[in-house]
Structure 1
């Protein structure tokens, strides 16, 4: 059985967050969703749990950071092509996210961009030509 990854994110407006993640291609799993949480399936092994602040606070005694002001984590997804990287950032921006909160990375064999969701959580999207990357790394190029 494959392992599943559940990324838990606190959100200030659950319906807005659900609409955003649907716009970038996730589908809502109603079995694990209610008025305090929504399970968004990116792919069968990666799920994003969108939790209201009240729900998120049930799982931690730590302060919930404002991701517009502080960064606790950056999540990176792979893409099949440079075009897919650009397309996902375009869809995220159109759905109310912010484009490229981190520097664009273009090393020829590797291309990455990022977006922030409406709550400020940063997602990187990276494409890599594995053959060219392996060659570049054996020749001492930066990764």
Structure 2
């Protein structure tokens, strides 16, 4: 069996989070979704679990608490796009779904086009496309 990744994120408003993740074109899995959580499938091996803040906290130990709205970033969730235009479409869909631009689209080196958005709770999603030539010769 292939490994899978489940990104668990707390939310202050599950309905707003659902609107955001649906706008990105992710597929909601009703089997693992209820009033406490929404399961969003990015691909066969990647799922985002958006959990109501109190429910998310129930998985934490050692006095840890959800850090919604904290000024610190511990993770940047990054996914790939199939095309350069797919990056721009992802950003537009994120804004339509209640998100905001975290980092405007740019091309840090030839053949790599990227941007980043924040969901309504402030979780950052990077989106990047790399040309086949850049993938064969990263860094030049």
TM-score strictly above 0.5 = yes
List aligned pairs for 1:35-54, cutoff 5 A.
35-54=35-54
Match of 2:78 among 76, 79, 96: 76
RMSD of the TM alignment (CA)? 1.6
Aligned 8 A contact 1:37 1:49 in 2: yes
Aligned 8 A contact 1:10 1:64 in 2: yes
Identify the residue that residue 22 of structure 2 maps to in structure 1. Answer: 22
Q: CA deviation at 1:82?
A: 0.8
Identify the residue that residue 102 of structure 1 maps to in structure 2. Answer: 103
How far apart, in 1, do the equivalents of 2:114 and 2:56 lie? 30
What do the CA deviations read for 1:7-26 (whole angstroms, capped 9, x no partner)? 00000001111111011101
In the superposition, the TM-score normalised over structure 2's length comes to: 0.90
Q: Which runs of 5+ in 2 are unaligned?
A: none
User: Cα gap change, 1:2/1:67 in structure 2, threshold over 3 Å: closer, same or farther?
Assistant: farther
How far apart, in 1, do the equivalents of 2:26 and 2:134 lie? 30
